[in-house]
Each structure stands twice: as structure tokens, then as C-alpha cells.
Amino acid sequence: MKRIVSLLLALSLAATIPLALGAESKPTKRAGTPEDSVFIFGCVMDANMIRYTQLDPAFEPAYYQFNHSYYFFEDVEPGSYLKLTTFEHNGPAMFTTYYIGFSGRTALDIRVPTKPGLYYAGYVDFSEMKKKELIFLPVKKYTEVKLLKFLLPSVKNKSWVPVIESRIKELENGSK
Amino acid sequence: MAVNRKITVFLVFLFLCIGINAESKMQMPASGQIALIGRVSLNRSSDDFYAKTFRGGNAANPDFVAIKLAENSCEIPEEGIEGAKGGEFFYITLDKKDKIAVRIKGFEYRLFNIEEAYIILPFWKEFTVPLEGQFFYIGSLVYTVEGMLLDVTSVDSVDEYDAAQIAVNKAFNAEIPLRRVPLNDLAEY
């Protein structure tokens, strides 16, 4: 019970933090539109910070960081490869930073779709580290639509707003 | 005037100290310590893409390679040096303590010395520390990496003993009796 109360308190506190505070963009980061870019979003429960690095030399250099468990990256170059390179986990007993490097693999590494638009990277929870691999397990009780509604007010590139709203409608109609 | 002279003498002394320290070479291993000498290079295309794409990357920074020791090995002392610039000879001092062997898992190769831009280079070798000698040459390794995630595809071991001898003499500013050591396979874990 105590745990649930403290979890609720932590969640309510987290909800008061504007999402935009967690976003960090590289000065050279590309500016895009829904017609030529991909909007990647997802959530890693209990993440304090996640950083993806674009590792395919055939595409523009870039990294994407979010200091929150929810994340969204606007204007990602289609076809590029994002590898989770740093992950800060706010565990029950301690706070751990994982530098994953080139040799470590995770299921969260993304080959960005070549088709522009929204890309849902999933809602996952960190499980354990096995040798060089970080294991993340899907969390089923949260949905894409809930996450999109939560993220919508913090989106900076407003040209994504109608795309997200349309996806929310589509998901809500689909679930009825 | 006398005070001024004292200050001048003190300042000259201070500059001399700084000068001597700046010129000082690698510290000789103490008794109960040994030094590993070797070289690790990475064979890869040399562009600065990774310096640009990683956070905090700077193409002017050289690569850095750090040794990764296995369990039950002689250890790097606190505040000890764990490696060297990529492609240069390293001089790693280890405490023997109650250990009889040096066990090496591999190396962590950091591109442009970026903490998260590292590649694990496997080695998995060990040697029993000989009773005689303090300076041991473990070889010069060239790792070839390929693909977007720089997977290790091969490793070549080159015997550069003579070059290592010259380098270690220069680094420690002394005639160093450098020894080769036979390396045995270490079980991976």
C-alpha cells in the first residue's frame, strides 16, 4: 500500500514537470515536416534519461535525448538508424547509468521507417542487463493513444499537431 | 630589496619545479608492482562521423583505449592509468598483491575518447607473472571492425618487441629490461 501511495505521489509530481524541459536538441539537428520526417515516440518506465545516437554514416549525424520516461523525437531523418547509447534507470534501490556503446544491444534500437509519419516505439519496462544486452519488456496496460494525448501539448514543431490529432481520432474510433 | 631577492629566488625555484615536473617521465613501478606494455590499434575508416553524431564529440580528441581485466587478476592501483591513446604504446602499472597472474578480458576502445562511443575488443588471455622482471610486453594488436556498429571481424597480433623496447626506454627515461611473456587462453565469461 505504501508503495502504491508513493508511486502515485511520484507520478503526480512527475506530471507537473513540463515535458519540454526534458527535451534536448543538437544545434545541428535537422528541421523537418511531417512530409519528410518521422516522429518517434514511446516510453521506458522509470527512465530518468534516454539518449539515442544516429549511427548510420549514410545519414546525417544526430543524437536525440529526453530526460523523462516518456520521449518523442520530432523530425527524425527517415531510414536512419537510432541506437540507444545511454540509459539512466531510476530503479527501486538505486539509480544506474548504462553506457551501452557500440557492442551492447537493446531491443529499443530502431531502424527508422523510410516512410515519413508517426512511429510508435512502444511502452516498455527495463528488466535486466544480460552480458552486454539490456532487456526491456513490453508494458501492455498503457496504450499508444494515451501516450499521444499526453505528449501532444509539448510538441514543439506544430506541423505535427494535426498528424497526431488525426492518429488519436483514428485510434479512438478503432477501439470503439 | 632583500625581501624582493628572496621572492625572486622563490619564484625561480617554483618555475624550476614546474619545469622538472613537466619533463618528468612515467613513474617507475614500485616493488610489488609490474608494468604491462603493449599497443592496441583499430583498423577502421578514418572519418569524423562519430565525433559529429555522438553528444559531446570532438574530432580533435584522439581515441582512447583502456584495458579490461578479468577477475582474480593483478589490478590497476587506485588513481592508476588504465590505458593510452589508440594506436600508441600503453604502460599500465598493476599491483601484484596476492595475485599470481594477469588476466585480460579485452579492451574498451573509445572513439574520440567519448564515453558512450566505445567498442569492446575481446582478448581473453592470461599469463602467470614471472618471479623475475617488472616490465612485460604483451604484444601489439590490430583489430579490424566492419559495418555500421563496428563489429570486430578479426584481430592481428604483431610482434613489435624492438619498437616497444625503444618506446619504454623513452617513456621511463631509463634502460628498461623488457620481457616477452607467453600468453595463454583465458576462459570467457
pLDDT in tens, A31-77: 889 999 999 999 999 999 999 999 999 999 999 999 988 999 999 99
Q: What's the number of CA atoms in the CB half-sphere (13 Å) around residue B6?
A: 3
Single out the residue of A149, A137, A75 nearest to residue A112, CA to CA: A75
Instruction: Indicate whether A54 belongs to any domain.
Output: yes
Q: Which chain B residues are Cβ-neighbours of A30 within 8 angstroms?
A: none
Q: At what angle do helices A161-175 and A144-151 cross, to 10 degrees?
A: 150
Chain B: give the shortest CA distance to residue A60, in Å.
Answer: 8
Binary contact (B149, A102; C-beta < 8 A): yes
Single out the residue of B92, B90, B86, B122 nearest to residue B107, CA to CA: B122
Separation CA A101–CA B173 (nearest Å) = 37
Cβ-in-10-Å burial (0-12, 13-18, 19+) of B30 comes to exposed
Separation CA A100–CA A57 (nearest Å) = 19
Reading phi first (left if > 0) and then psi (alpha if -120 to 50, else beta), residue A47 is in beta
Q: Which chain B residues are Cβ-neighbours of A80 within 8 angstroms?
A: none
Q: Which chain B residues are Cβ-neighbours of A86 within 8 angstroms?
A: 116
Binary contact (A56, B118; C-beta < 8 A): no
Domain count, chain A: 1
Instruction: Indicate whether A111 belongs to any domain.
Output: yes
Instruction: Indicate whether A4 belongs to any domain.
Output: no
Binary contact (A102, B150; C-beta < 8 A): yes
**What are the cell numbers at B115?**
564515453
Q: Which chain A residues are Cβ-neighbours of B117 within 8 angstroms?
A: 53, 85, 101-102
Reduced to 3 states, what is the DSSP secondary structure of residue A6?
helix
Reported confidence tier of residue B14, pLDDT bands at 50, 70, 90: low
Which chain A residue has its CA at the smallest distance from B150's CA?
A102
Binary contact (A99, B116; C-beta < 8 A): yes
Binary contact (B53, A55; C-beta < 8 A): yes
The predicted structure's pLDDT at residue A155: 93
Q: What's the number of CA atoms in the CB half-sphere (13 Å) around residue B2?
A: 0
Contact B57, B51 (CB under 8 A): yes
The predicted structure's pLDDT at residue B8: 63
Separation CA B112–CA B110 (nearest Å) = 6
Which chain A residue has its CA at the smallest distance from B52's CA?
A61
Instruction: Indicate whether A67 belongs to any domain.
Output: yes
Mutation site for A-interface testing, chosen from B46, B53, B107, B111 by largest number of A Cβ within 10 Å: B53
Would you say residue B13 has pLDDT above 70? no
Instruction: Indicate whether A2 belongs to any domain.
Output: no
Instruction: Indicate whether A8 belongs to any domain.
Output: no
CA distances A10 to A16, A17, A90, Å, are 10, 11, 12
Binary contact (A63, B53; C-beta < 8 A): yes
Query: Which residue matches cell numbers 591513446?
Result: B85
Cβ-in-10-Å burial (0-12, 13-18, 19+) of A176 comes to exposed
- Global pTM value: 0.82
Give the pLDDT confidence of B64-106 residue by residue, as tens digits.
999 999 999 999 999 889 999 999 999 999 999 899 999 999 9
Which chain A residue has its CA at the smallest distance from B120's CA?
A103
Single out the residue of A121, A31, A128, A32 nearest to residue A84, CA to CA: A121
Mean predicted confidence (pLDDT) in B148-155: 93
Instruction: Indicate whether A5 belongs to any domain.
Output: no
Separation CA B34–CA B36 (nearest Å) = 7
Chain A: give the shortest CA distance to residue B120, in Å.
Answer: 6
Would you say residue A23 has pLDDT above 90? no
Binary contact (B53, A62; C-beta < 8 A): yes
Which chain A residue has its CA at the smallest distance from B151's CA?
A103
Which chain B residue has its CA at the smallest distance from A64's CA?
B55
The predicted structure's pLDDT at residue A22: 47
Instruction: Indicate whether A1 belongs to any domain.
Output: no
Q: Which chain A residues are Cβ-neighbours of B116 within 8 angstroms?
A: 51, 53, 85-86, 99-101
Domain that holds residue A77: 17-175
Would you say residue B4 has pLDDT above 50? yes
Would you say residue B22 has pLDDT above 50? no
Would you say residue B185 has pLDDT above 90? yes
